[in-house]
Structure 1
């Protein structure tokens, strides 16, 4: 079942009510009403502040808040996202108002909404998510810095300048000379915004339950009103009817700029809304956002807002977060918050007119600084995208919004292209042979670097060229092939070994693939068959094996061939791995090993018969002797596991069934593990009072210790352990947690493996034209040790 932004996961019993049209119970309605009141209290000051920063009529911010709540909430595809005037659009709107005037800006908002409706109808909402988050976050941070720099002058009793540089240059004089009542209002507002949510709870009263914006603006308004401070306050029209100041057509020569502005508003509003909707989805358990429907909802809201003389609308994360935290369960809370704003403006406009303008400016300063997220910068730095973020931020601040976004997007494309074409070339000389390893994608962009390295190879020198590449274009092939021909002409030898696709070999045969290939097999090759699609459900065991073989041939065989071609003349495993035959234990998966690494012995209960009983059970003894004396493995591992059926049989004595003729072999074999029962004290009932899982764990771990002692009874093992040539290791695999535990030789306890350590690379063979050469520099040629 789909579980992404477009499809809804199965609803949990505790989740909020279902999709649109589902009847809400009384509890859900009560929660939505309460949440809508909280969002309403947050939205009023924010909407007025954003209108101030945009240079638009103050009523335009309230119109956008009403329309964003009612229209986007009713039509959109998100359960709890709140839409309204967004800080991310302030720079664009301010520039449009200055260039074209307010009424033409309303027309641009209306047309941008129609563009969003068309994009949503074409179902391409997901394309907006292709914009790098580093660019989006950098853009929002740049907008925040620009807003804060401009509104800080208003807080200090002055007026914002024409650019960020001018605001910075003018700031010292504003700080030194302006000490009016506006400064006091601004300082009070900023102090409360920073400190309100940090205040400790007093009894049952929790400050976080009341929006900080409401407290800050309300307190500043109350102090300024009671103190009769001379500060500029909000001015609203006498009536909503007279407030209408709708769209108007531009002059004939402005349509080209209008079209560009419509595209900019539609793009920024869409990207910000969709990213915010996906972020909000992580905060609740309700239905996931339907992106195309949400885009249509945003388009409808912008169309109506522009027609009514409101600011552009977008999904906003601050109000949406407040909505979720207040307990919203459906779009009803979003719609109601718009209704409350409408009623408040209609009935209590005189209260709004008491709000000091410096209080709104201080609110914008706080919002602007919060838009610069250090957490986002840390995350992007880990992914090596901090440069994109900072480039966009400074571009927006010092050049303009569109210029900054263009610079950030261009840098993001360059970074992505560099990653796709990243190539590392290492050179090492061993035993007179030059070993060159190439890792990455070989394209024409990497040819100069590769050619430079190849030119440093001395004439006549034997060369092993390992191509660990996932793509090779024609230019790279030509460069390698031309160099190889020239080098062999001078008496040198070149052995080219390809680890992944045979790009060079295919190009040499004039059958190069046209594009980068993608394995057709399942990416989760290690998962059980029943977890990898319904197409296998009706197959019998033979059919499952055949289907698995076809999947292997389709997606893995070609890659395996280049690896196995290095191992045809002998094996050099690093460990003899003794483990249980249980189908849930996969040695190569839990040890991240590959072909040729483990010499594996599997049996019921991972048992090693005592040396004096080897005549009766010679299979394991033969494997031990072969691994130690012929293959000369440096280590032996005995691996037990949780929920082991063999250990359960020992505990329950189920192997001593009524019909012992059916389990004769099993009874004889499990006798090799009964020493573990004695070691745990089970003969005296030591495990009887424990939970079944704990008893099995103790017995399985004690069984590993017992089998390690059995191994020491073999003379070939004991001699090499005492001489330091061989080590014995105990391992325990917990099926429930999928964690590996190793036996600590000092404490005798099993300790979970918690980190990744660098280990020496095992010896492998690199295929060459004239034979094989051991990577560690040992003698070339076929190994004298036989292969099992």
Structure 2
């Protein structure tokens, strides 16, 4: 078999063109952001200035080339500055480089064993709280540099020293810092064209120029000294327990930050998703290299990665090229850094530290009740230390998770007839037994009780408490009817069956696809069907708690035949009377109630995301026959199909003598507004509309509207008469049902926009045929209408 070398050459040229058009400009933007940030983080870490640039080069080239995220940019991270600073003070810089190398080896091993996903189990509240705490500590320490002083040993000491620093006269140092911060703040509000230069670069350049022109007495950055003093990493001296803990801490913090950054960056672009195990392996390799070369620890950095995506990067070449630009800058233009005042770098770090306290994260966490975790982690990092703050945050997050997992809700109410309704929800463990028994003991002896267990777990202590209360209550003359909404934890325990100690997710309704008449009925007879009134259009809502009536009271509810019955409890509509005893309304309302109880909690997150707009990819035209369920036979869900249903799945031709705007309107809206890529016409066996066409209208003689509609099927009938059977169909009716689908596809082409889109290759027409008796979907080949099983 030959190889199509032309297509390979074309693909290669296309890739090169994409790199030159998108990735090369993006790499230059990221490079301009990376240089000042790398220098600033090196200052905050107490490391040589060159270490920040080495980490930027290694992070870009090594992590960019090997990484699992195509647009993530790695380099020195502000979140690791406190750890590195502590290690430098404790072991020295050369030993810190060796610790970085070992941490990279550990990351490499973790990536090889494919456990990167486990890092996502860390609560984001802890991560964001840690970064916010680090930002506060960095801002407090570098604020002293701006004021002309020097950072203290801790955040508390920095706070205590701050008033004295502010009251002293600092002259030019303060001016350099204030000018840098002013440019950083104002730069984001300038026109887009001026903001082509990154704000950090603009701020440092402006301050450097002002300090030279005005002759300010400031401290200059000296890059040459750190380059000349380079030495190989050295083995750390000290207790090996502390050294091992430092290796694990650097590996985990850098790894978690990189993986969370990769997940966050995935939301910013539509390309290939990140391979987290590969990303962790790449970060390990990069940290081994940067440690060996005397650089800072490397991690995926959200600021540079976001800049990369917004600058138009399409592939990993942007990150790689940015590393090369940093290297070329160090070799050829490193002398320019000597013009930058140290106070300007300190001001840049203060600005970055303040930005790390992201108010948006606090808003997001508040909706999930995780602000305490964020606050405790941040406070721990600021006042105790990085490791202590993270441990406190993880501990609180675990306690809150345990509280949620073991939380129990008990709701008991009495209706006007003295009947008690009790709902117990949550995970029933020994921790919830006091709450359960206290609530159950309030029910008077001899009462009739409906006990609903909406639970996902029940341990032996909870079972014994409920079972003992039930026995006591029934011995006192009362009755207890227990209904379990999910798994039958109580029934299994009462029967002596083994109960597995695992939480089970809520199940969808049993065999939800079956007709009402085929489903297993549980609970009450259909004569008493309760569903929430707020969910029934036109329902008579009975106020519940907070709705204007006392708990347990209810207002009158109209009876379907005009009478009025006593009110139903719990803010529900009670459907009774002739319809409830023999009609179809109870089945419909019971189905709605079952949806609210079982399916709605599962699908609500999906529907919430598409509540404002729909983006279906298919227009699905099918028959109104009650046996055809489009989402069932295509295994599709909400938002997938824009569905049109009519008798006979007919598509009136453009300009037909009996015009019908309904189908045409749906076609226009689907192709113009929704931009669907496929229009499917789905017919089915035993279609009543085709029976009427074959009978010549005899079966629909007294249905004038239906007769007028079926005129749109005359072309199908004419096509049927003009073709002969090849023996593969199931008879004349079956053949007409399939021919009708092909004819409707041709009718679609009479609509100009559909024909134009099909010719342009932007729209595809598909014919399906559903054999009801065999429950099988076939694809129809045009124009012979031959079935091809899926």
- Please classify the TM superposition score into its range, dividing by the shorter chain length: 0.5 to 0.7
Q: Which residue of 1 is the match for residue 118 of structure 2?
A: 127
Greater shift after overlay, 499-508 or 253-262? 499-508
- Per-residue displacement from partner, 1:445-478 (whole Å, max 9, x unpaired)? 1111111212333344443322222221111001
For the aligned residue pairs, the C-alpha RMSD in angstroms reads 3.8
- Matching of residue 644 in structure 1 with residue 646 in structure 2: yes
Residues of 1 paired with 2:692 and 2:525: CA distance?
50
The structure-2 alpha-carbon separation of the partners of 1:233 and 1:663, relative to structure 1 and needing over 3 Å to count, comes to farther
Map of 2:606 onto structure 1: none
2:219 to 212, 232, 240: 232
Relative to structure 1, is the Cα distance of residues 666 and 333 closer, same or farther in structure 2, using a 3 angstrom cutoff? same
Partner of 2:525: 567
CA contact (8 A) 1:145 1:369 kept: yes
1:183 to partner: Cα distance: 0.4
- The answer as to whether partners of 2:71 and 2:313 remain within 8 angstroms in 1 is yes
CA distance 1:330–1:642, change in 2 (3 Å)? closer
The residue aligned with 2:205 is 218
SS at the partner of 1:248? Answer: coil
3-state SS of 2:223 partner? coil
SS in 1 for 2:15: coil
The yes-or-no answer on 1:333 pairing with 2:318 is yes
Which residue of structure 2 aligns with residue 439 of structure 1?
A: 425
Contact preservation (8 Å) 1:158, 1:178? no
Matched, 1:165 2:156: yes
Matches within 5 A, 1:203-602: 206-237=193-224, 240=227, 242-251=228-237, 253-430=238-415, 431-516=417-502, 518=504, 564-567=522-525, 592-594=592-594
Change (3 A) 1:175 1:65: same
CA pair 512-662 structure 1, distance change in 2 beyond 3 A: farther
**Structure 1 residue 257, shift from structure 2 partner:** 0.3
**Following the alignment from structure 1 to structure 2, what is the Cα–Cα distance between the partners of residues 168 and 239?**
30
Secondary structure of the corresponding residue to residue 70 of structure 2: coil
Counterparts of 1:525 and 1:327 in 2: how far apart (Å)? 48
Distance 2:596 2:111 in 1: 54
Compared CA separation, residues 566 and 256, structure 1 to 2 (3 A): same
Task: Give matches, 1:28-39, under 5 Å.
Answer: 28-39=19-30
CA contact (8 A) 1:657 1:663 kept: no
Residues 700 and 707, structure 2, Cα contact 8 Å, conserved in 1 = no
Superposed CA deviations along residues 185-204 of structure 1, whole A, max 9, x for unmatched, are 00000011111020135xxx
2:218 counterpart SS class: coil
Task: Report how far residue 224 of structure 1 moved.
Answer: 0.8
Query: Per-residue deviation at 1:285?
Result: 2.7
CA contact (8 A) 2:26 2:312 kept: yes
Are the aligned partners of 2:529 and 2:589 in contact in 1 as well (CA < 8 Å)?
A: no
**What is the Cα deviation at residue 92 of structure 1?**
0.7
CA distance in 1, matches of 2:408, 2:13: 55
- Tell me how far 1:56 sits from its aligned partner: 0.9
- For 1:436 and 1:216, the matched residues in 2 are separated by 65
**How far 1:228 moved relative to its partner?**
2.1
Shift of 1:279: 1.4
Please report how far the alpha carbon of residue 384 of structure 1 lies from its aligned counterpart in structure 2 after TM superposition. 1.6
> Which deviations, in whole Å up to 9, do the C-alpha atoms of 1:14-67 show, x marking residues without a partner?
xxx99xx99722342243222221111111110010011011111111111111
The 1:565/1:150 distance shift into structure 2, 3 A limit, reads same
Return closer, same or farther for 1:515/1:281 CA change in 2, 3 Å cut-off.
same
Q: Report the Cα distance in structure 2 between the residues aligned to 1:70 and 1:525, rounded to whole angstroms.
A: 54
Q: Of 41, 56, 70, which residue of structure 1 is paired with 2:47?
A: 56
| Contact 1:280–1:320 (Cα < 8 Å) also in 2 | yes
The aligned counterpart of 2:584 is none
CA distance in 2, matches of 1:97, 1:483: 64
Give SS of 2:695's match: helix
SS at match of 1:24: helix
- 1:41 is matched with which residue: 32, 35, 42? 32
Counterparts in 2 of 1:301 and 1:318: CA distance versus 1, 3 Å: same
Equivalents in 2 of 1:475, 1:507: separation in Å?
A: 11
Q: In 2, distance between residues paired with 1:311 and 1:149? A: 22
Asked if structure 2 preserves the Cα contact closer than 8 Å seen for 1:151 and 1:361, the reply is yes
Give the CA deviation at 1:518: 4.3
Greater relative contact order (CA < 8 Å, ≥ 6 in sequence):
1
Q: Tell me the distance in 2 between the aligned counterparts of 1:656 and 1:325.
A: 56
Per the alignment, residue 198 of structure 1 pairs with 189
Distance 1:101 1:291 in 2: 32
User: Cα distance 1:524–1:95, how it changes in 2: closer, same or farther (>3 A)?
Assistant: farther
What is the distance in 1 between the residues matched to 2:436 and 2:136? Answer: 44
Alignment correspondent of 1:718: none
Change (3 A) 1:356 1:410: same
Tell me the residue number matched to 2:106.
115
For residue 339 of structure 2, give the secondary structure of its aligned residue in structure 1: coil
Whole-Å Cα distance in 1 between the matches of residues 592 and 201 of structure 2? 56
Aligned-pair distance for 1:571? 6.4
Give the 3 Å change call, closer, same or farther, for CA 96–571 of structure 1 in structure 2: closer
**Conserved? CA contact 1:503–1:512, under 8 Å:** no
Query: SS of the counterpart of 2:239?
Result: helix
CA distance in structure 1 between the aligned counterparts of 2:460 and 2:307, rounded to whole angstroms: 56
The alpha-carbon deviation at position 481 of structure 1 amounts to: 1.4
Measure the CA separation in 2 of the matches of 1:246 and 1:604. 77
* SS of residue matched to 1:468: strand
- Are the aligned partners of 1:109 and 1:306 in contact in 2 as well (CA < 8 Å)? yes
Q: Structure 1 length normalisation: TM-score? A: 0.67
The alignment status of 1:664 with 2:698, answered yes or no, reads yes
What residue number does 2:169 align with?
178
Shift in Å, 1:374: 0.9
Q: TM-score, normalised by structure 2?
A: 0.67
Contact 2:408/2:426 (CA < 8 Å) preserved in 1?
yes
For residues 523 and 346 of structure 1, the distance between their equivalents in structure 2, rounded to whole angstroms, comes to 67
Deviation at 1:87, TM superposition (A): 0.4
Do 1:588 and 1:594's aligned partners in 2 also have CA atoms closer than 8 Å? no
Q: Cα deviations across residues 692-740 of structure 1 (Å, max 9, x unaligned)?
A: 99xx9xxxxxxxxxxxxxxxxxxxxxxxxxxxxxxxxxxxxxxxxxxxx
- Structure 1 residue 590, shift from structure 2 partner: 13
Q: Does the 8 Å CA contact 2:648/2:690 hold for their aligned counterparts?
A: no
Instruction: Kindly state the Cα deviation for residue 495 of structure 1 after the two structures are TM-superposed.
Output: 3.0
Change (3 A) 1:596 1:135: closer
What secondary structure, in the 3-state scheme, does the structure 1 residue paired with 2:141 have?
Answer: helix
Q: Distance in 2 between matches of 1:49 and 1:357?
A: 9
Q: Tell me how far apart the structure 1 counterparts of residues 360 and 115 of structure 2 sit (CA, whole Å).
A: 30
Give the distance between the partners of 1:308 and 1:197, measured in 2 at CA. 36
Q: List runs of 5+ in structure 1 lacking aligned partners.
A: 1-16, 527-547, 578-586, 598-602, 608-640, 678-691, 697-788
Measured in 2, the distance between the counterparts of 1:224 and 1:298 equals 39
Conserved in 2, the CA contact under 8 Å of 1:59 and 1:243?
Answer: no
Distance 2:120 2:187 in 1: 35
Partner Cα distance (1:604, 1:36) in 2: 55
| Structure 2 residue ranges without an equivalent (≥5) | 1-9, 540-559, 561-574, 576-586, 598-621, 627-642, 660-688, 712-746, 752-790
| C-alpha distance in structure 2 between counterparts of 1:373 and 1:314, whole Å | 20
